[in-house]
Chains A and B, each alone.
Chain A
Amino acid sequence: MLAERIVCLGVNHQTAPVEIREKMAFSGDCLTPLVQIKEIPGCDECCFLSTCNRVEVLLVAEPEAATINAVRDFLFAGTGLSSAETEHYSYLRTGREAVNHVFRVASSLDSMVLGEPQILGQLKDAYRVAMDNKATGPILHRLLGKSFSVAKRIRTETSIASSAVSISYAAVQLARKILGDLTGKTVLLAGAGEMAELAAEHMLAQGVGKVVVANRTLERAISLARRFDGEAASLAELAPKLAEADILISSTGSPDLVLRREDMAPLMRQRYNRPIFLIDIAVPRDLDPGLNDLDNIYLYDIDDLQQVVEVNKGERRREAEKAERIVEEEVIKFLQWLENMELAPTITELRHRADELRQAELNRTLAALPELTPEQRKAVEKMGSALVNKLLHHPIQFLKSGDRPEDKRRNLMTLRRIFGLDNGNNGNNGNNGAGSG
């Protein structure tokens, strides 16, 4: 069975602590290990992935202990662990489980932060390196290509990746919900804490036009403003600056409120009711909680943001269940495709296809020639069968030729393509796995 030859071997944040993972130290370089793994006897296809939370090898190989152990020894080469320990810290998945695992990794269901977007890019890079070095074959092409489309499907059909799970990113996301596109908007920082800086950086990355820093000590304000290429002001100027800002991030060390509800009402008239998003990340709080009751003012303090993050995390976990179902569905489709890759069904399919054609043409010819005698009819029928058999002889020989398994598979793919058995299936697109023409 082809499916059994798909093997996934590796360590991740769940199976091995960081002390072990850091000793493996492939440090993002996929190329050297890939070349070395390719040389291990028995590995037909391979792909190597290394990120800070996982080191993983995806193989198409004979599922023999010797091959697996050789790969595992290679992975743990620098750690000095015994083979019992390496087995303990790593996971080995084959067949259906391996396919499932690859899909889950690509969709970020196996990540430390559920739904984080980086893993897909890292996997794509790993695939590109493997492809450039001719380490992948038809099965990994299909498997990895499919994993990318599964990840995309999960991203659009579940909201696993859409909610923010860090405070500063939650603030940016809220700002976008309230103000729409942040391009050209003005952010006012009151006080210059670390978290405020981080949030301001996030907002700048989103295209915020201007940053104004107001601080108790003007020097600090100036130095921070220079970093953001913005404007500096003293805290006493807060009110006039506030009239022009769209977002306020407040983090002063003041023990009292910096902005009261009564201060804001005249400002809102001055602003023509332009909406403003107030973010209070100071403890004790800087901004009057009553501000949130005013029209067009949206106030979030640190607890509110934390709560948003918690809710989002829960939401991601719920969405992950939906995603797991999608993965299961796609695994089944992939396995069906693999079955179609096997030789025997292809030969049957080919014969069947040819026979259908022969029968159809025969019926047409015989219908057009009603005056034939039974002997003549038999001769025509015989000719049809002979033609089909002779025509199919070489393609079938071609299928069975090829000494190495990957040659066999490549032949199989070629033949299926030439005879259109997969409706345009070229190994990396569509979900026509079960299609038999």
Chain B
Amino acid sequence: MDILFQAVFALYLGATITAVVCFFNLNQRLRLTARGLLGAAVGLHTVYLLVRFIAAGHTPVASSHEAVSFFAWSLTMAYLAFRWRYRVKNFAAFVLPLITLLMLVALLSPTRLVELPPAMQSWWLPVHGMIALMANAFLALAFCGGIMYLLQEREIKRKRMGFFSERLPSLEALDNLNQHCLTIGFPLLTLGIITGSIWARQAWGAFWQWDPKEVWSLITWLIYAAMIHQRFTVGWRRRRAAIMAIVGFAAVLFTLWGVNLFLGGAHTYAG
């Protein structure tokens, strides 16, 4: 199973390198190669998740390795779903490195299968875990869009058009990307928190117990909620929205790992 995962990682890595090279030299053939490699990677990754599901007997979102690998898979799926609907020039060159980075983290985490403690054996595990990770995936897309926005705007404001302005989509397109990703990501995040608290009630008897992970998800949620509120009331868009998407995603990442590393609490993965 580890070899399978390494193969998936290698495919993602290949797709990423190709996409980044393509970003620099604009070679059409490379673009198709990257697309093919990504397709192969996500296909094999799906197989890996299924294999793991069968071997472990639960949806593979329980250990740190599983959660991050599922996060990477959701991000790819979110990216593909997005691509199918909208065209954002050279989006891949920004999303694929992030996917590969996540995969690298998953690769370095212990991959052994874990026995779930009784509290976690519930069908809320897949529901809560998958929704929360899918939410993260869309917020990650908004994050990539935010970075692209800032790079593009920097060149336009400084009146030094060149490398990025030619390779990145228009500011308008990037702002739309941000908005679309949030309109999907934010409800999912909300749902993730709600399902989590219902499950908490079942497992531990209380909806909310100010566990660090819960606090940080709430902080994350508040950041995104503020951002959406401001967009609709006073028109916080574009640059501010881009910055907020980046800040929000930093909070997402901290909720995912930082809490476990620095603060501990009930969410420490079974691994």
Contact = CB atoms under 8 A, between A and B. Distances in A.
Interface of A: 156-159, 162-163, 174, 176-181, 269, 271-275, 292, 295-296, 298, 300, 304, 307-308, 311-312, 315
Interface in B159-190: 159-162, 165-166, 169-173, 176
A157 B170 contact: no
Contacts of B156: 174, 177-178, 298
A176 B170 CA distance: 7
Given A298-B156, A300-B159, A272 B234 contact: yes
A179 B170 contact: yes
A271 B238 CA distance: 14
Contacts, number: 67
Given A157-B27, A159-B166, A181 B236 contact: no
Interface string B1-26: 00000000000000000000000011
A158 B159 CA distance: 22
B230 to A, nearest CB: 10
Interface residues of B, number: 26
B233 to A, nearest CB: 9
B35 interface: no
A185 to B, nearest CB: 10
B112 interface: no
Contacts of B176: 180
Contacts of B201: none
Given A295-B238, A296-B238, A158 B26 contact: yes
A163 B162 CA distance: 9
Given A176-B170, A177-B171, 4 more contacts: A158-B26, A159-B166, A177-B161, A308-B159
The 4 A-B pairs with the shortest beta carbon distances in the complex, nearest first, are A180-B172, A272-B235, A273-B235, A180-B170
Contacts of A177: 152, 156, 161, 165, 170-171
Interface string B23-45: 00111100000000000000000
A295 B237 CA distance: 10
B162 A157 contact: no
B28 A157 contact: yes
Contacts of B27: 157
Contact of A178 (B28, B159, B171, B234): B171
B171 A275 contact: yes
Contacts of A269: 234
A311 B162 contact: yes
B83 interface: no
Contact of B237 (A163, A273, A292, A308): A273
